[in-house]
Structure 1
Amino acid sequence: MKKKIVALGLLLWLILSRLPVQAADPMGEEAVAQLAEEVGEEYMICPELLQAIAWKESRYCPDVESKGCIGLMQVAGRWHQERMQELGADNLKDARQNMIVAADYLQDLVETYGDPIMVLMVYNGDSRAEDYWEGRCGPSEYAEEILEYSALLEGQHGK
């Protein structure tokens, strides 16, 4: 039991230590979990996965902008203009709109690739995604961290 607690603490530290410090007001964990539950149900995506991405990308801060990416899920608006128009999303700093655009994109990636690691590598814009897909390299740290944190959240939620 003690080893499990230490391992979970280490995992949480690893995840937190790799996140950029944000100067925005974060949403509460419960609010993000509720939003992820609603959007996840609509798009048939594990809500804990959405929540894990939101934590990794923005630390639950809907106002964050970094390298052309905006909001809770760090959506690159320049690449998703058509998707945003189709979804009626005009404000990527709105947490709901942001997560909907991200979930819609993730759903497309799941349909295209099926493999959760590949989906996360492409979502993150990892240049090694094709190499991973063709078996020339292993998964990215980003994908592994998201999946580990998602599993941790699923455990906390009794799944």
Structure 2
Amino acid sequence: MNYSKSMRKSAMVKRVLILIGAALVIGLVIGSVSGYTLKTHITAKDKEKSTERRLERSSTETLVYGAYDNRTFTQEISLDWGAGDLDFTPLDCKMPEEQQEFTYYLCTGYNLDFTLVMALIQNESSFDPSVVSATHDYGYMQINEMNHQWLTDTIGVTDFTDPYQNIRAGVFVLRKLFERYQDTNMVLMAYNMGEDAAARLWEKGIYSTDYTEKILNYQMQFNEQLGGE
């Protein structure tokens, strides 16, 4: 009799524990779904804003020199390559050939136009890797100090006047902007003045500046050097 009561009591405890466990599992599932839905909504909202801006641009003619391939980079590409792995032709400019080749390999990895990046460097620093502006922009690609920490955290760059590290940082920034905007003029404007300031101009229908025109002109000259269009 005592054994039977003990069994019934034990069975009841087990059922209670099972019900509590089931409730916890259901709660966790619902919480996870809600959290995912919220995150997806925020991401979709940001993506929608970028898409609207790109659609506004679709009715105007523009020369697009950058590429977009539906990849999202959350970290730096592998730097494990050897000289001569790719068919590289140097430009006639002030940057040493080995640094040009390094830039070329990075551009290939991120699917960006080499001549566009070189044109940006020409415009930003005239190929002077040690220059620091009065507004705290550093090196070849004039990486502003407000971007230093996240670039250090994301791709490990620590010296923004080192030519190789600076190129790594600048090309990564460009790649991320192309992922977001997919339009060369918009990318260059965002790179130059920041996304918020650029967005204020886009809202006014302004999608080109002296800055973007200079870089695209430099790129045209570099393309001519390489025998391209």
TM-score by length of 1: 0.75
**Is the partner of 1:51 in helix, strand or coil?**
helix
- Greater radius of gyration (CA): 2
Is 1:134 aligned to 2:199, yes or no?
Answer: no
For residues 112-139 of structure 1, what are the alpha-carbon distances to aligned partners after superposition, in whole Å with 9 as ceiling and x for unaligned?
Answer: 1111001000100167521443352241
Identify which of 78, 102, 109 aligns with 1:35: 102
Is 1:76 aligned to 2:144, yes or no?
Answer: yes
Counterpart of 1:8? none
Summarize the Cα distance change of 1:48–1:32 in structure 2 as closer, same or farther, 3 Å threshold.
farther
Letter in 2 for 1:130: A
Counterpart of 1:99? 167
Task: State the shift of 1:155 in Å.
Answer: 1.7
- Conserved? CA contact 1:52–1:149, under 8 Å: yes
Counterpart of 1:16? none
The count of aligned residue pairs is 134
Summarize the Cα distance change of 1:29–1:154 in structure 2 as closer, same or farther, 3 Å threshold.
farther
RMSD of equivalent CA atoms: 2.1
Give aligned-pair identity as a percent.
Answer: 29
5+ residue gaps in structure 1? 1-25
Counterpart of 1:52? 119
CA distance in structure 2 between the aligned counterparts of 1:111 and 1:123, rounded to whole angstroms:
13
Counterpart of 1:23? none
**Is the partner of 1:86 in helix, strand or coil?**
helix
**Structure 1 stretches of at least 4 aligned residues deviating more than 4 Å after TM superposition:** none
Counterpart of 1:111? 179
Is 1:122 aligned to 2:225, yes or no?
Answer: no
CA distance in structure 1 between the aligned counterparts of 2:122 and 2:98, rounded to whole angstroms:
12
Is 1:86 aligned to 2:86, yes or no?
Answer: no
CA distance in structure 2 between the aligned counterparts of 1:117 and 1:29, rounded to whole angstroms:
28
- Conserved? CA contact 1:29–1:60, under 8 Å: no
